[in-house]
Structure 1
Amino acid sequence: MNDVLINYVRCGEGKPLLLVHGLGSNWRSWRTILKPLAAQRSVTAIDLPGFGKSPPLVGRVSVPAMSDAIAQFLREHELLGTDAVGSSVGARLLLDLARRRGMLGAVVSLGPVGFWNGWERRAYQTSVCFWWRLAKALNQPMPAITTHDWSRRLLVKQLSARPASLSAPQVLEEMRSCASAASFRAMLDGLVHSGPVEGAAAGTLGHRLVIGWGRFDRICFPRQAERAQRLFPDARMHWFERCGHYPHWDAPEETTRLILRATAD
């Protein structure tokens, strides 16, 4: 594999913990829980290739290629076996890496994409693509748009079940990140045209796996959680009440507690 440059930030001291964001986001998406995690962990939050400040991959963008890029980052930074938390696409990538022996420690996968059936795949593609096009079309006036409560609710209702609780800078950062993501469309296409998620038979993971799902997830519908559980029978399912696709936004304290418990020795 060619050299991959991945931008990252590191903060805190203690047991290593990797954070992997979702489609269109960057490491700043985790700022709602970064400080409390860093109080007890040495946190490394990355920008996936083609997102944030990381340059795109060379060649085809796909789930395996993105997973390989993270694996290379872990080797280069002596983080093999680290505990990890992923959101959305990041959650899917960590499930892929969790199947590779020795790659990760405990994994918390929040709203992983890809457990769709039939029309759900098309619904995901249409919904997410519309949101991306909207972010690009409104990129210039976005600072003014996000000053209004009603507009913030409309912009991030896909991601959050509690959009009124989100600040203008937080929503602006997410929309700007989405609009500027060089690999957004390529990664979206790679996701929707990928094969079924490969699971891990009971007793084969060798480490703790927690899958978290919001009861009001409008991107990865809650019924998909049952499919994820079937494919990863050793996983513990955690339900976030009154939460959407981003529980680290809607329930930051609960998400922090879950992560710290799941990654405890």
Structure 2
Amino acid sequence: MNTTEEFKRTRKILFDKEGIQPQSKIVTTNGPVKNVHYLEIGSGKPLILIHGGGSHSSEWFNIIKPLSTKYHLYVVDRPGCGLTDSFDYTEVDFRKSAVEFVESFMNALGLDKASFIGQSMGGYFSICFAMQYPERVEKLLLIGAPAGVNLWIPLVLRLLGTKGLNRFLVKSVAKPSIKNVKNVHKQILVADVEKLSEDYLKHCYYGQLIPGNEKGFLTLLENVLTLAGWKKDLYLGDKLHHLKIPVRFIWGDKDAFEKPETGRSKTEVIQDCKFEVVENAGHCPWLDQPEVCASLISKMLED
């Protein structure tokens, strides 16, 4: 079985059901990885979407259509994820690498400035880039608790970030399967896992099987986590006042990484900030409440 082709096949099924046909493209960059995959669709002002964790660009499948009517979307796969080149995060300067990835991607596409939507780890990439290059960020929208803003991390990820133990886990109880994909979504990503279609779960499963993606995800976790949680030298929760551009937050009321109440309190130091809570939604709020999130995103990017 060619897992990459199965990933593309199941992605097409998701896109066909949503009535979208984004272009799947590869751009050559001079950043941490050479070949970066992204989906392109829509017209209007440029909007870059950066996914979380060990996910991929097509996780945004159910809000791409409404957003593409107002924005020119560039939905990117981070290094070691989706169809972007594989990447080993071992001993990498993580924050520096995150900034260089976003910068090199924009440069390769000829984008001087764009708005961003970042989710979880994609939020970390976006925040770090916006702090270093505020002149290149129109607006920053963070959906779900951004990585690095809270030191506490769910146990399953701390275990997967423990070198040695993680290799054992992915060969045994955490071995890639549709069942385990569903369990992870239930534990840490969504409020109601029954809303996720079998087609979506299959697509995520094949994403995990793409050669190099498992190593990319595990070495990333090893880089940023300890058994105690997020590494303190990569913590951003006390640095948000450095964000000098408009920042918008959309937070699920059932986010497994941090409650919206404590998240909101940290954001009060940002000069131009707005914060919305989505009810009955988890860490990936749009998977629970796509219509609500698509509407909020459009409203908050224009506000």
TM-score class, shorter-chain normalisation, is 0.7 to 0.9
- State the shift of 1:201 in Å: 3.0
Q: Please state if 1:115 is matched with 2:149.
A: yes
SS of equivalent to 2:100: helix
Match of 2:40 in 1: 10
Return closer, same or farther for 1:161/1:134 CA change in 2, 3 Å cut-off. farther
Structure 1 residues 104-143: aligned runs within 5 Å: 104-111=137-144, 112-117=146-151, 120-121=152-153, 123=155, 125-126=157-158, 133=169, 137-139=174-176, 142=177
Aligned counterpart for 2:248 among listed residues 201, 207, 210: 210
CA distance in 2, matches of 1:122, 1:255: 24
Contact 2:264 2:275 in 1 (8 A): no
Report the AA paired with residue 186 of structure 1: T
Return closer, same or farther for 1:208/1:230 CA change in 2, 3 Å cut-off. closer
Aligned counterpart for 2:296 among listed residues 230, 254, 258: 258
Q: Please state if 1:219 is matched with 2:251.
A: no
Aligned counterpart for 2:234 among listed residues 171, 195, 199: 195
- State the shift of 1:10 in Å: 0.2
Q: Which has the larger displacement, 126-135 or 61-70?
A: 126-135
CA distance in 1, matches of 2:234, 2:184: 30
- State the shift of 1:214 in Å: 1.1
- State the shift of 1:263 in Å: 2.2
SS of equivalent to 2:63: helix
Report the AA paired with residue 91 of structure 1: G
Match of 2:199 in 1: 169
Contact 2:36 2:77 in 1 (8 A): yes
Report the AA paired with residue 235 of structure 2: P
- State the shift of 1:39 in Å: 1.8
Return closer, same or farther for 1:190/1:250 CA change in 2, 3 Å cut-off. same
Structure 1 residues 53-132: aligned runs within 5 Å: 53-57=83-87, 60=92, 62-99=94-131, 100-111=133-144, 112-117=146-151, 120-121=152-153, 123=155, 125-126=157-158
SS of equivalent to 2:107: helix
Contact 2:154 2:257 in 1 (8 A): no
Contact 2:30 2:104 in 1 (8 A): no
- State the shift of 1:233 in Å: 4.7
What's the Cα RMSD here? 2.9
Runs of 4+ in 1 over 6 A off after TM superposition: none
Report the AA paired with residue 22 of structure 1: G
Q: Percent identity?
A: 21
CA deviations on 1:58-117 (whole Å, 9 max, x unpaired) are 772613202211111112212232011011100121111222221211111112012224
CA deviations on 1:46-67 (whole Å, 9 max, x unpaired) are 0001111111347726132022
Contact 1:116 1:224 in 2 (8 A): no
Provide TM-score, normalisation by structure 1. 0.83
CA distance in 2, matches of 1:242, 1:128: 27
- State the shift of 1:175 in Å: 3.5
Return closer, same or farther for 1:224/1:124 CA change in 2, 3 Å cut-off. farther
Return closer, same or farther for 1:38/1:27 CA change in 2, 3 Å cut-off. same
Structure 1: gaps spanning 5 or more residues: none
CA deviations on 1:226-247 (whole Å, 9 max, x unpaired) are 4531453532111111110001
